[in-house]
A and B are shown apart, each in its own frame.
Chain A
Amino acid sequence: MKYLHEFRDGPKAQALAEQIRRMVTRRWAIMEVCGGQTHSIIRHGIDQILPPEIELIHGPGCPVCVTPVETIDKALAIASQPGVIFCSFGDMLRVPGSREDLFAVKSRGADVRVVYSPLDAVKLAQREPQRQVVFFAIGFETTAPANAMAAKLARQLGLKNFSLLVSHVLVPPAIEAILNSPHNRVQAFLAAGHVCSVMGYWQYPPLAQRYRVPIVVTGFEPLDLLEGIRRAVAQLESGRAEVENAYARVVTYHGNRAAQAVIEEVFTTTDRQWRGIGLIPQSGWRLRPEYADLDAELRFGTAEVQAEESPLCLSGQVLQGIIKPHECPAFGKECTPRTPLGATMVSAEGACAAYYHYGRHRQMPVSG
């Protein structure tokens, strides 16, 4: 782990870690909500240069991980239909549904394609007018501007062969659900920088006040994360519960208004099931009724799908910070990135996969 040490030994990282060490007087649990941040924390060993009093709890912010099994099953059903080209971000292909994943249906001949951007799927629909192109529109607020624009463009272009399977999720309702849980141990949040670059952070002050919890908008680079943690600890130690922006080079209070306008035009909020966690009220976006003709669920009639989760998988507890990935009995045994039982083992942003890739289960004893 050459790079890890280069980062850790760097003077800036050392100085930040030292400041945190000097401030801390007791144990604190801080949650990073975003899976990209989880990945960065584990990869750079940020949790390991922090004083032992600081525990980082890995939150549910990996869109691949929280997409419900039912939705994966619907994707599999749609992708298996003749004439369909099913487009998805690459991470989704190995996410297990009740019985299999997109890779399996692809290897049986279904036309499943990995795209970088939803616009690639729109272009594909233009090129292949005789095929039905379906885009798997998952993600947090960061991805929504792209998916909303794909819908808008398809409409403008009059495409009759393009539709979206939408499963969008939202960060603030998830934070609130965590705070409302009787098991909650989280005392401060690092809010995901790129979600805030789209949405701003005006939604957070009421949460910070109502639940007396510091929220720090934080970036993804190792030093950004250390700075976010430093600010969260400073607030905790002085009894403050405010919203701070530690990622001001990208994030503004109001966010990207042009993007919000298009999201607003295409999507509306809805209750959403989160894989491993359950239903969170008003925690997702779906297509507005005005865009119902682009809804793949309606076009392909996938309403009745019975989903089953692997009984061994404890990803719900991992996603809520109740256990650490290596404390799951299946971790590294029945469940590996090649044979994932839960979505948190699939995506590089999933906590189980991050622990597995960076050998955390070998470095630390089983404990909290």
Chain B
Amino acid sequence: MCLAVPGKVESIYESQGTRMGRVNFGGVVKEVCLAYVPEVRQGDYVIVHVGFAISRIDEASALETLRTFEQLGLLEEELEELRAGEEPSPAPPEPAAPQ
């Protein structure tokens, strides 16, 4: 749960009154809550834990970490985990009813 891959914030928006963003983890894009990193701007890198950015990390360190993950063959595995979380419910392809 703890080996967080740094992700790059691609966009920031509000959803139900909460600061959210699309974050790109080596190609896998996920919706992440940005409420705890008010200083973060588009293009910044963040460390994410269970769908929440918990801290900002500078770009050089983030790229270095990503390189290490890749060299050690960990990146794919970590991304697998992210993708696995992709289907929390076998959601039927219902027309998304915004509530």
Contact = CB atoms under 8 A, between A and B. Distances in A.
Interface of A: 2-3, 6-7, 34-37, 39-40, 44, 63, 87, 89-91, 113-121, 123-124, 126-127, 139, 142-143, 145-146, 149, 153, 156-157, 192, 194, 197-198, 220-223, 249-251, 256, 258-259, 262, 349
A113 B36 contact: no
A219 B1 CA distance: 14
B61 A249 contact: yes
Contacts of A251: 55
Contacts of B30: 116
B4 A117 contact: no
Given A7-B72, A249-B57, A146 B50 contact: yes
Contacts of B3: 36, 39-40, 220
B20 to A, nearest CB: 9
Interface string B14-25: 001110000000
Contacts of B88: 87, 113-116, 120-121, 123-124
B95 interface: no
Interface string B58-99: 100100010011011110000000101110110000000001
A118 B57 contact: no
A115 B17 CA distance: 22
Interface residues of B, number: 37
B47 A118 contact: no
Contacts of B51: 116-120, 146
Nearest to A61: B2
B68 A221 contact: yes
The 4 residue pairs across chains A and B that have the minimum distance between CB atoms = A116-B85, A117-B51, A36-B2, A120-B88
26 contacts: A3-B72, A3-B73, A6-B71, A6-B72, A36-B1, A114-B85, A114-B88, A116-B51, A117-B51, A121-B88, A126-B99, A143-B50, A156-B17, A197-B55, A220-B2, A220-B3, A221-B65, A222-B68, A250-B55, A250-B61, A251-B55, A256-B37, A256-B54, A256-B55, A258-B37, A262-B35
Given A116-B85, A146-B49, A156-B17, A44 B36 contact: no
Contacts of B72: 3, 6-7, 44, 222
B33 A258 contact: no
B38 interface: yes
B52 A149 contact: yes
B1 A63 contact: yes
Contacts of A262: 35-36
Given A146-B50, A256-B37, 8 more contacts: A37-B2, A89-B50, A114-B84, A118-B50, A221-B65, A250-B55, A251-B55, A349-B2
A113 B89 contact: yes
A60 to B, nearest CB: 14
A258 to B, nearest CB: 5
Contacts of A258: 35-38
B50 A116 contact: yes
B58 A249 contact: yes
B50 A198 contact: no
A251 B61 CA distance: 13
A278 B9 CA distance: 42
Contacts of A126: 99
Contacts of B68: 221-223
Contacts of A250: 47, 55, 57, 61
Most A CB contacts (10 A, CB to CB) among B3, B16, B18 go to B3
A223 B68 CA distance: 9
Contacts of B35: 149, 258, 262
A1 B21 CA distance: 37
Nearest to A255: B55
A142 B54 contact: yes
B58 A117 contact: no
Given A120-B51, A157-B16, A197-B47, A115 B85 contact: yes
Nearest to A116: B85
A152 to B, nearest CB: 9
A249 B86 CA distance: 29
Given A117-B50, A120-B51, A145-B52, A349 B1 contact: yes
B4 to A, nearest CB: 7
Contact of B1 (A3, A6, A89, A145): A89
